[in-house]
Structure 1
């Protein structure tokens, strides 16, 4: 599996999880399957850090991951597999998401002193994407010019 395909698959999983969290937050998904006691997922999702500029962070994640899925699928197509532009587009999506995730993790761990398993999966995924997209950029940089 290529880096681009891996990013597409994992981003799809994260888009579904983020959609689930958003649906829970707006009351359409029943109870939240997480656990974690009094400082778990519900506590984190319900905090002021569960919103950014009036928008649900889970919705931001769902949309962001969906766009990453779309771009990664296009980038994985044989005619684009050695092109640089799809990597640049993925970088433009992934790098800000990584910075945003750092902000969220700081709020979760330091300010709220809580832990959300779903948020941790997203944080690990976006961190892996950051490393992988740098590796992919280095790979396409080494390719001979077309």
Structure 2
């Protein structure tokens, strides 16, 4: 009788190990997709890849990624997502490559790590979806994909782990979810859209001083019909203006593309198919991203000391 029970337990354990193995493989595959997704966004934000185009012709990706919520501590938010997916990938695969006592010891701990990590990722992704819909008011398929991956990883980790104490499981998950939710809501509220002292929908004033060279370049750009397509809430647009300085930036021809921005020309921006801010139109050609002043001079044919 005892030997029969032991055999049944071993058979059940083998089936459980086999099922867990396939769940780990599935999680590793999903995490790899997440790594590719977030790495692509990160490299684009670092300027190492060309501008991303939303699948299906949507135009919200650049608006979402270039928003104030797209950067944390000076780095793209996607970088932190990349690190999280990388951690999931390691936790999912590590017990599969270990053997013996190490595998038996690491296995249960890795399920806890996968569950808690995916819980935090899922809750924070929900916060980001709320920001995208209600504050940025744009649609980014790359961000939605990441949120869906986080949710599926959470479900798989919940199913895959062996949880003898369900009370402890629920307590830890709910506690972590609440902490991440409160932190995420606090962060999203604190970041907000930068408001100008001049009123809603007006860009933050430029404070850096101009030089005779930057003023001359700005006058040349304006005189030759160059345009800078911008959004009042866009931090990169503000960075571009700061390169010129206060006096020079005032001489630029700046087109406000945000529908709720002051003096908005959103229809013109839509006609021009503006997908990222800032975007420069020089000599009839569009080029997006913050440009060094030397590059703008080259693109517009500006010669220091004369036309």
Query: Structure 1 residues 141, 28: closer, same or farther in 2, change over 3 A?
Result: same
Q: Is the 8 A contact 2:25 2:93 kept in 1?
A: yes
Where is the helix percentage greater, Structure 1 or Structure 2? 1
Tell me the TM-score normalized by structure 1.
0.85
CA distance in 2: counterparts of 1:100 and 1:54, whole angstroms: 19
Q: Deviations over 1:1-32 (max 9, x none)?
A: 71111111111111011111011111110121
Which residue does 2:141 correspond to in 1? 117
Q: Deviations over 1:87-110 (max 9, x none)?
A: 001123211111211111110111
Which residue does 1:33 correspond to in 2? 53
- TM-superposed CA distance for 1:78, in Å, is 7.0
CA distance in 2: counterparts of 1:53 and 1:105, whole angstroms: 20
CA distance in 2: counterparts of 1:64 and 1:55, whole angstroms: 15
Which residue does 1:87 correspond to in 2? 111
Which residue does 1:141 correspond to in 2? 163
Moved over 3 A (4+): 75-83
1:101 partnered with 2:125:
yes
- TM-superposed CA distance for 1:120, in Å, is 0.9
Q: How does 1:13-28 map to 2 (within 5 A)?
A: 13-28=33-48
Matched length: 138
What is the alpha-carbon root mean square deviation over aligned residues? Answer: 2.0
Of structures 1 and 2, the larger Rg is shown by 2
- Stretches of structure 1 that go unaligned for 5 or more consecutive residues are none
1:128 partnered with 2:165:
no
Query: Structure 1 residues 53, 102: closer, same or farther in 2, change over 3 A?
Result: farther
Q: Is the 8 A contact 1:75 1:87 kept in 2?
A: no
